[in-house]
Amino acid sequence: MTDTTITKVHCHLLTQDISQLAIRWAGGNMRYWNTALVEVTTADGLRGFGEAYYPGLSAPLATRALVENYAPLLIGENATEATGLFHKLRSKSLAWGKAGLPLMVAGSIEVALWDIKAQALGVPLYELLGGKAHDAITAYASGGMDAPRDQLIAEMEGYLERGFRAVKIRIGQSIAEDVEKVRLCRDVLGPDVELMVDAVMGHNPRPFSAKQALAHINALEKFDIAWFEDPVGNRDYDGCAFVRQNSPVPVAAGETAVGVHEFLPYFECGALDWVQPDPTHSGGITECMDIAALARAYGVGVIYHSWGMAPCLAANYSLAFADPHARYLEYPTHGLPLVDELAETPFKLVDGKIAAPTALGLGVRLNEELLARYGFIEGSTFWP
């Protein structure tokens, strides 16, 4: 009989130098990408992984410290009791961990526990979340950062060559600059490819006001935009509601919200057409299932956010493949190697779609060679 007693909980920090990738957008630019991987090990040698997306990216040392703080609460427990152990972590941190970074990290630990349970049962994770509801789901290329015109044209042409039928680009500059960028991308992609725009105001230090966001939307509507994402600051719920109530384009947001209680105001205000939770920073698998249930009750669609490495994608895709209402998968095109190198089987686009994974659990692999090649660089930060 499998012994799934937890023997170790550890946080691996990995650094990717992305200076050559030029990841720039309205809110800043990046020099390094730090990935925080939570690993839970059991007595029989099963290894479960969870990626702390925003925490690892922008606060790696704090993420590691929180994992070390939570670890004693898990040692000796049964790893397959994911929901109960997540509740234990939350109940023991009520005074200081109601939301934000502590909840993000606890959720990433919970993802690792779900990974172990699925491995122990010999199934992909989505089988534990309701079973496979789709054989394949449309993937949208998530890129279109700030880049020179020639590079942007080449990027859009590359998406067409790879078979993408939906593309998301970043905006957030002046109206004139945004109009020119979206016009260019629409011209290259043609009328039959869905085009989404992301203002990335959720963590922009100078976010749009609601009226500014609406002015951008009105200027871009003519390019047949599938949705306008992150129009205002991440707690400007009333502003987001104003935008949605007056927008001719569907509105999406939520990628920087943490926990049900930060998502609920979006629904109560009528602020969204699409909500974008992510178990690697919204608070784990269970929290995201609760958020998705709330969204359905309020008539809001769910598109799981996925802009991290393989464990982030695998967790979000597991939720999407178990959700009969899921229409899209977000596929990051930032070019970072750990999207593929941490996956047992890299995600593959066929006819614009990604098929349901067959690997057990999340299908994540981590070895000493990867740890050595992407060793954490002390002092590396999200911002240059």
Kindly tell me if the per-residue pLDDT of 302 is higher than 70.
yes
Kindly tell me if the per-residue pLDDT of 69 is higher than 60.
yes
Work out the end-to-end distance of the chain between its first and last CA atoms, rounded to an integer number of angstroms: 50
Helix axes 285-297, 310-321, angle to 10 degrees: 40
Kindly tell me if the per-residue pLDDT of 1 is higher than 70.
no
Torsion over CA of 106, 107, 113 and 119, rounded to 10 degrees? -160
Give pLDDT, residue 263: 98
Give pLDDT, residue 257: 97
At 165, phi and psi to the nearest 5? -115, 10
Give pLDDT, residue 27: 81
pTM for the whole thing? 0.97
* pLDDT tens digits along 153-187: 999 999 999 999 999 999 999 999 999 999 999 99
Q: Which CATH number fits domain 6-123+367-373: 3.30.1330.40, 3.90.850.10, 1.10.15.40, 3.30.390.10?
A: 3.30.390.10
Give pLDDT, residue 50: 98
* pLDDT tens digits along 328-381: 999 999 999 999 999 999 999 999 999 999 999 999 999 999 999 999 998 886
To which H or E segment does residue 176 belong?
Answer: helix 175-189
Name the DSSP letter for residue 182.
H
Kindly tell me if the per-residue pLDDT of 194 is higher than 90.
yes
Q: Where are the domains of the chain?
A: 6-123+367-373, 127-355
Q: Contact, 59 vs 102, CB < 8 A? A: no
Kindly tell me if the per-residue pLDDT of 16 is higher than 80.
yes
Closest residue by Cα to residue 259 from 236, 233, 235: 235
* pLDDT tens digits along 87-102: 999 999 999 998 999 9
Kindly tell me if the per-residue pLDDT of 384 is higher than 60.
no
Give pLDDT, residue 161: 98
Give pLDDT, residue 383: 56
Give pLDDT, residue 114: 98
Instruction: Report residue 35 as tokens.
Output: 């990935």
100-111 average pLDDT score: 97
214-240 average pLDDT score: 98
DSSP, residue by residue, 98-115: SSHHHHHHHHHHHHHHHH
- Rounded CA-CA distance 268/277 in Å is 16
Burial class from Cβ neighbours inside 10 Å (0-12, 13-18, 19+) for residue 277 reads: buried
CA angle, corner 325, sides to 38 and 186, nearest 5? 90
Kindly tell me if the per-residue pLDDT of 252 is higher than 80.
yes
Radius of gyration of the chain measured on its C-alpha atoms? 20
Give pLDDT, residue 31: 86
Query: 127-355 has which CATH code?
Result: 3.20.20.120
- The CA distances from residue 147 to 131, 174, 206, 234, 278, in Å, are 41, 15, 20, 25, 27
Comparing 20 with 47, the larger pLDDT belongs to: 47
Helix (H), strand (E) counts: the chain: 13, 15
Mean pLDDT for all residues in the chain = 96
42-52 average pLDDT score: 98
What confidence category does residue 382 fall into, taking pLDDT thresholds of 50, 70 and 90?
Answer: low
* pLDDT tens digits along 111-159: 999 999 999 999 999 999 999 999 999 999 999 999 999 999 999 999 9
Q: Contact, 119 vs 361, CB < 8 A? A: yes
What confidence category does residue 204 fall into, taking pLDDT thresholds of 50, 70 and 90?
Answer: very high
